[in-house]
Amino acid sequence: MAESYLAWDLSVLEHRRVMVMRRQIARNRRESENPLDLEDSEFLYLYRVTKDMFSELVGALRPSLQKQQPYGLSVESQLQTALRFYASGCYQLPVGLQWGCSMSQKSVSRVVHAVTEAINEKLLRKYIKFPMTPEGRRAAKAKFRNAPQPFPDAIGAIDCTHIKILAPKLHEEAYVSGHHEGHSLNVQVVCDPDLLILNINAKWPGARHDAHIWANSPVRSTMKRHFDNGDRRTWLLGDDGYPLEPWLMTPIKNQHLGTPERRYTDAHGSARNIIERCFGVLKSVFRCLSHQRQLMYEPYTAGLIVNACAVLHNMRIKYRLLEPYVTTSTEIIVDSYNDDGLEDTGRVTGTGRAIAERIQRRLINTTFT
């Protein structure tokens, strides 16, 4: 009996020794496949970042991603795995088998979670900033004034876009949009003429209307506060799904050619188009957000992935991978999701609407007449 137990113990020890060796071999293989050895163009195609940008990301995320176990993945390997997932949008198993990422689907999932959380923790407030100071708003207005499609006193264009996600276990019906198949997040974004994302809110379910998200958004509260404090000539540009407000200019429907109202609406539409271009660039570069893909995550993690891609989008602008831009000194607004009994759908009171119409009329008379 003792001999049989001894044999079993030896078998267990041998199995453990083999497993340790296999992990070490797999780790060495991963570490030997250095993505920085790729040609610059191939590296950019696979990971959507330059090697300099990759190095910045490694330095910024290292405190959060530093390996804790002797056979854990290096920070570089974790980052390249997550970047490839963001870029390809394919299912996780193929990501783990290609381009130097030799790991299981489960490992890829853990890595994507870790890198995504690290980007949100370390880089979100650094790279996604809304103009909070008078100097920041003046710089933002200058961008619109000098843009190919200018619009006076605007600091950003706003809209929402749907990102497909896995059907959640809780409140599943809230994530089904009548305009899109399946389940989604309805993500609110504000951008500037250089497609730089100034604010992002990826916490709302797909069934929520754009105007509802705006009405309960901290960015709206910020715009209103600036208005109440005397800044009466600063606004965002939104489509006709949004309410006209003193700090949010919207188009005027059914205006005749040649009228000041039509010139205002045409200029508004041309300037506001930057947000559609921003969505197009974001989803084409980071295919995990494409309408042809689905984030196989619950809403909270899916929202963090959207944020991470937005951060990388802005970093690409910094590294001149998109149109050049002017850096401004600003602060971020962090949106908080609170969907408990909210009834405000974006309708403006009679007094607020009247003030907004007077501001819109003054703008038309001074600029488009």
Provide mean pLDDT across the span 115-122: 97
Q: Are residues 330 and 211 in the same domain?
A: yes
Q: Are residues 139 and 210 in the same domain?
A: yes
Looking at the whole model, is its pTM more than 0.85?
A: no
Q: Among residues 200, 161, 185, 210, which one has the least CA distance to residue 308? A: 200
Q: pLDDT band for 200, please (50, 70, 90 cuts).
A: very high
Q: Where are the alpha helices (DSSP H) in the chain?
A: 2-32, 40-47, 51-65, 75-88, 92-97, 105-122, 124-127, 134-145, 210-215, 218-228, 260-272, 274-285, 299-318, 350-363
Q: Are residues 61 and 94 in the same domain?
A: yes
- What end-to-end distance do the CA atoms of the chain give, in Å? 101
Q: pLDDT band for 330, please (50, 70, 90 cuts).
A: very low
Q: Are residues 279 and 340 in the same domain?
A: yes
Q: Residues with Cβ < 8 Å from 33, sequence gap 6 or more? A: 100, 102
Q: Are residues 316 and 330 in the same domain?
A: yes
Q: Are residues 217 and 81 in the same domain?
A: no
The pair phi, psi for residue 162, each rounded to 5°, is -95, 135
Provide mean pLDDT across the span 200-228: 97
Q: Are residues 207 and 347 in the same domain?
A: yes
Per the CB < 8 A criterion, the answer to whether 232 and 359 are in contact is yes
> How confident is the model over 253-308, as pLDDT tens digits?
999 999 999 999 999 999 999 999 999 999 999 999 999 999 999 999 999 999 99
The parent domain of residue 80 ranges over 20-122
Q: Are residues 141 and 164 in the same domain?
A: yes
Whether 163 has a pLDDT exceeding 80, the answer reads: yes
Q: 63 lies in a domain?
A: yes
| Angle of CA points 106, 112, 118, to nearest 5° | 140
Q: For the chain, what is the domain count?
A: 2
Residue-by-residue DSSP string for 185-228: EEEEEEE-TT--EEEEE--SBTTS-HHHHHHT-HHHHHHHHHHH
Instruction: Report how far residue 204's alpha carbon sits from residue 201's, in angstroms, rounded to the nearest whole number.
Output: 7
Q: Residues with Cβ < 8 Å from 135, sequence gap 6 or more? A: 328, 329
Domain final residue pick, 102, 122, 142: 122
Whether 369 has a pLDDT exceeding 60, the answer reads: yes
pLDDT above 90 covers a percentage of the chain that reads: 69
Predicted confidence at residue 106, as pLDDT, reads 79
Q: Are residues 290 and 144 in the same domain?
A: yes
Q: Are residues 197 and 294 in the same domain?
A: yes
Predicted confidence at residue 170, as pLDDT, reads 87
